Copies of this chain bind each other. A is one copy, B any other.
Amino acid sequence: MKRGNTIFFGNAPRVRSYAAICGSKEREGVAGRYADIALSDDMYGESTYEKAECKMLSNAVSLAVEKGRLTDGDVDALLSGDLLNQIISASFAARDFQFPYLGLYSACSTMSEGMLLAAALVDGGYARNCVAATGSHFASAERQYRYPLELGCTRPPQSQWTVTGAGACVISADCGRIKLLNATLGRVRDWGVTDVNNMGAAMAPAAADTVMRHFRDTDTLPEDYDAIITGDLGALGSRIFKDLLWEKGFDVANHVDCGEMIYKVVEDEFQGGSGAGCSAVIMNSYVFAKMEAGLYNRVLFAATGALLSTVSSGQGESIPCISHAVELEAGHEG
């Protein structure tokens, strides 16, 4: 069923299991207490950053499948993507498994895009168990999008820090305490921001657009949710997001941002975390754990993605952004 841009899952697909791996810097914050594995070395025993990123993603998928008491043969598809050119982390991670793979690219909104497509496949009866997963690595993102770490470039105050980490969850027709109720599909929004160091400002309009369409399509208000969680707007982007909603009459006092909460606030990360791994780690550790413990009942998760490339920026383009949202509800074990 659909209304507006929101699709409703009549059979309540569930989060059967979830897993997260985070890096050494993330280990010092909230993710370190909730993630399944918190690395002490971001190389993760590999020879390159890219291979470390791929290994985190692959292991997060394996862990989620295991924690769901499933084997590879029980999984109908992996839906995954990442930030690297041609999403090599996801595609090479998928090589480790015998189940089918659907590659996605939605920058840092990959976690919610994966969850919504997995939920649609499960809800529609096309699959029993699908894994949605994504991740990122600070060092591979820096050298691809900005400058190699070796250059020692300074970072402007509006910048964010790409999270080293990966998260995965199994969306299942069978069991799990957390239900997926519906999902609001994102539209590309571009308000003309060209500062590639200010992703929060670029992405906030996309998040506001999706969240407001969600309220309209589901006949809800901000206060109906225990938490409205955006992906990686960071501190500045979050303020813009709240402001945009306030202008339209919505007071999202219960808004939290994964980028804002993932690090202890120190000067180095400026606006907080970003990257596909940011919301993937926070959702697949802290948030789902809180929901299972009954501390959050109803959650709206709107991951946010900036759809630029170094080529598009080099050619003078502004930054198109997107945000896909999924609504989750904690209930009894299905």
**Residues of A participating in the B interface, judged by any CB pair closer than 8 Å:** 1-2, 5, 7, 48, 50-51, 76-77, 81, 83-88, 91-92, 94-95, 97-107, 113, 117, 120-121, 123-127, 144, 185-188, 190, 307-312, 315, 317, 320, 322, 324
Contact = CB atoms under 8 A, between A and B. Distances in A.
Given A95-B190, A101-B188, A2 B126 contact: yes
Contacts of A121: 7, 120
20 contacts: A1-B125, A1-B126, A7-B127, A76-B185, A84-B311, A85-B309, A86-B308, A88-B307, A88-B309, A92-B312, A92-B320, A94-B187, A97-B188, A100-B187, A102-B324, A103-B105, A103-B107, A117-B117, A123-B124, A124-B126
A311 B88 contact: yes
Given A7-B126, A95-B320, A315 B48 contact: yes
A102 B81 contact: no
A281 to B, nearest CB: 21
Contacts of A92: 307, 312, 317, 320
Nearest to A187: B100
Work out how many copies of this chain go into the complex.
Answer: 2
A126 B120 contact: yes
Contacts of A312: 50, 86, 88, 92
B317 A101 contact: no
A320 B84 contact: no
A321 to B, nearest CB: 9
A317 to B, nearest CB: 7
A105 B120 contact: no
B186 A5 contact: no
A2 B186 contact: no
A76 B2 contact: yes
Contacts of A117: 102, 117
A100 B184 CA distance: 9
B127 A84 contact: no
B309 A102 contact: no
A88 B85 CA distance: 11
Given A50-B311, A85-B311, A113-B102, A127 B187 contact: no
A2 B315 CA distance: 45
Contacts of A144: 311
- Name the residue among A7, A312, A317, A320 with the largest chain B CB count within 10 angstroms: A312
A94 B50 contact: no
A103 B185 contact: no
A-B complex: 10 closest residue pairs judged by Cβ atoms: A124-B124, A100-B185, A91-B307, A86-B309, A7-B126, A105-B105, A85-B85, A103-B105, A94-B188, A103-B106
Contacts of A106: 102-103
Nearest to A101: B188
B84 A187 contact: no
A275 to B, nearest CB: 13
A307 B120 contact: no
A180 B116 CA distance: 22
Contacts of A186: 100-101
A91 B320 contact: yes
Nearest to A50: B311
